[in-house]
Amino acid sequence: MAIVSDFWLREAGLEVLAHPGAVESSAYHAITEPFHIAPHHHERSIQIDVIAGCKGRLFIDDQWLGFESDIGHIAYPSQTHGYSLEKRTKDAVVYHFKLMLDPEIEFVKEQVLPRASELGEKVSQIVSIAENARQSWGDPSSPRVSAAIQLLQILSAWPTSRNALGAVSTLDVDDHVEVAASMIEGALDDPPSLDELASASGISGRHLTRLFVASTGMTPARYATVRRLDRAKVLLISRRTPIADVADELGFASPATFTRWFRMNEGRTPTEFRDSPTVF
């Protein structure tokens, strides 16, 4: 398929600038310990990840692929994706954006950019733009169009070569952990107990905990808390959802209970986080 080099970018740019709300969310995570996101997909959103200073594996095309370099990752609508990361350098970080575009435009329909690419010498440029986009998106005084323009700059700088990542043995990602992690992801409003996770996984709770810590660096309970907190943050910053609605969606008995839980795990209240969402 031949595409004029920048036609897709001009078309995507017009779409984003006409609808700045197409940039649904912007997030950031400093990697200080093993970090795992179970395979999942988004029906309509495009997920764009800038992964720098990490090593680990990406879930792409129904398999885990290993990497030990700076990676750019894109998941188009309905494509299953996930990752398991470890710190490789002192500045290990993931920038994460979600973008909603017309499925008929060239960029989405033809999946112009590869699912995963080594960022190589472009990593400093792309990370710098990603940081500016994150700050613009989280700043209530900044026009949303600023983050949209910067996201387009990231796509413009994105490597177009399809770098081969190494396939990882299925033994490297334990099936029991995947079952439990997926079960947690599907019930963030009422996280399952260790006994329920163990029963679904077909092993003892003690064995599951050992496997979970080996794969993710966290116990199942801690993983559930982290993912629940992640979901709360997305709701707080991407849809400006009222705090009472966030509490209800995540299964808390009251906004006050949710606020206490959020402050205990995040170190600040939901309102303080929303006013300055510096870390995801």
Residue 179 Rama label (left phi>0; alpha psi -120 to 50; beta): alpha
The predicted structure's pLDDT at residue 161? 67
Angle at the Cα of 159 from the Cα atoms of 155 and 161, rounded to 5 degrees: 135
H helices of the chain, where? 7-18, 106-109, 123-138, 144-157, 175-185, 194-201, 205-216, 220-238, 243-249, 255-266, 270-275
R_g of the chain computed on alpha carbons? 19
Kindly give the confidence (pLDDT) of every residue in the chain, 280 residues in length, as a single tens digit, with 9 standing for 90 and above: 333 446 788 888 888 878 877 888 888 888 988 888 878 888 888 999 999 999 988 888 778 888 889 999 999 999 988 888 899 999 999 999 998 888 988 889 888 888 888 898 899 999 999 998 888 876 666 666 788 888 889 998 888 766 556 554 443 446 788 888 888 888 889 999 999 998 988 889 998 888 887 777 778 898 888 888 888 887 887 656 789 999 999 999 999 999 999 999 888 899 888 877 654 4
Q: How many CB atoms lie within 10 A of CB 73?
A: 21
The chain-wide mean pLDDT, for the chain, equals 83
User: Residue 80's closest CA among 59, 105, 65?
Assistant: 59
- Cα-Cα-Cα-Cα dihedral of 57, 72, 61, 114, to 10°? -150
The predicted structure's pLDDT at residue 170? 40
The residues with which 95 forms a beta bridge, in sequence order, are: 28, 50
Contact status, residue 216 vs residue 223, Cβ threshold 8 Å: yes
Both tokens of 249, joined, read: 């969606």
- Rounded Cα distance between 60 and 38, Å, is 12
Q: pTM (2 decimals)?
A: 0.64
Cα first-last separation, the chain: 38
The predicted structure's pLDDT at residue 163? 58
